[in-house]
Amino acid sequence: PSPRHQPRTSYVVRRSSVAHATTPVPCPPVPVPVPVPVPVPRPCPCPCPCPCLPHGPLVVVAVHNVKPECLEAYNKLCQEVLPKIHEEKHYPCALVGTWNTWYGEQDQAVHLWRYEGGYPALNEVMSKLRQNKEFTEFRKERGNMLLSRKNQLLLEFSFWNEPVPRDGPNIYELRSYQLRPGTMIEWGNYWARAIRFRQDSNEAVGGFFSQIGQLYMVHHLWGKFLLLLSSPTEPTLSLCPAV
């Protein structure tokens, strides 16, 4: 049909639609951004260097199981080579101590190294030792004397003493503990208070905990003057006289 004969309702719908199209529609309100509070980092409750932070000196405990017939030659070889690495200024490490076991595992040598610069210092020393021909020959000769060897990377508890040389004669006791997961902070809190009772006779040498490898491992190193062993403050487990 022609526009003239269109139904009136259709004309009304068109007028209504035009009217709605020309009527201004208010825009929805723009949401105002709410400022997000920046979280403030809480201080670490752990009394020791937090295992997730790469700070503090790195300690390496190396345990060598020596053939019984080679123990004397092994000690002589280590006495010739290891102090050179300790005294060399280009190697950022220090040999804290070298021991042979007295009780516990027999024919065993324990070496304690300390890297003040942490993991970068350890990588630097390892890289330089690979290019040291004397150390390469030392490792080859030492390998013929060993049954097995292992080492562990550790961090120091902040409330323990820093391992330093001491007057002798001394024997040293190394105690190792396997903690339940999640109890490292609790362990540190208790020992931060208990260590004060073991300082009278200057027994505390160092306290360490693992960060890589076998986790939740804790090692306490005690030093006992040889003449005081007749009346120890507690039973001993494994004693290591210094070489």
- Does any domain span residue 171? yes
Q: What pLDDT is recorded for position 12?
A: 43
Per the rule left: phi > 0, alpha: psi between -120 and 50, beta: everything else, 83 is alpha
CB 168 within 8 A of CB 99: no
Do the domain assignments include residue 45?
Answer: no
Amino acid at 109: A
Q: Letter for the amino acid at 23?
A: T
Number of C-beta neighbours around residue 155 at 10 A: 23
CB atoms within 10 A of CB 238: 16
Nearest one of 183, 226, 182 to 201, comparing CA atoms: 226
Which pLDDT value is given to residue 149?
Answer: 94
98: its two tokens: 């070298």
Contact 216, 210 (CB under 8 A): yes
**pLDDT tens digits in sequence order for the chain, 243 residues long:** 545 554 554 444 444 444 444 555 566 666 666 554 444 443 444 444 444 444 578 999 999 999 999 999 999 999 999 999 998 888 999 999 899 998 888 999 999 999 988 899 999 999 999 999 999 999 999 999 999 999 999 999 988 878 877 777 788 889 999 999 999 989 998 898 888 877 767 788 889 999 888 899 999 998 876 654 444 444 333 344 433
DSSP letter, residue 84: H
> For residue 234, what pLDDT is reported?
43
Please, which contacts does 231-239 make with residues 24 or more away whose CB atoms are closer than 8 Å? 233/198, 233/201, 233/203, 236/103, 236/173, 237/103, 237/104, 237/173, 237/175, 238/101, 238/102, 238/103, 238/104, 238/105, 238/173, 238/174, 238/175, 239/101, 239/102, 239/103, 239/104, 239/171, 239/172, 239/173
Token pair 């199981």: residue: 65
Query: Assign residue 216 a region: left if phi > 0, alpha if psi is -120 to 50, beta otherwise?
Result: left
The pLDDT score that the predictor gives to residue 1 is: 52
State how many domains the chain has. 1
> In terms of residue numbers, what domain contains 69?
58-241
Any domain includes 49 = no
* 38 assigned to some structural domain: no
CATH at residue 95: 3.30.70.100
**pLDDT for residue 70:** 95
In the prediction, which pLDDT does 211 show?
84
User: Does residue 36 fall inside a structural domain?
Assistant: no
**Could you tell me if residue 34 is inside a domain?**
no
pLDDT at 34: 53
Q: Is the peptide bond before 169 cis (omega within 30 degrees of 0)?
A: yes
The one-letter amino acid code at 79 reads Q
Does any domain span residue 33? no
Q: Decide if 207 is inside a domain.
A: yes
- Asked whether 64 and 109 are in contact (CB, 8 A), the reply is yes
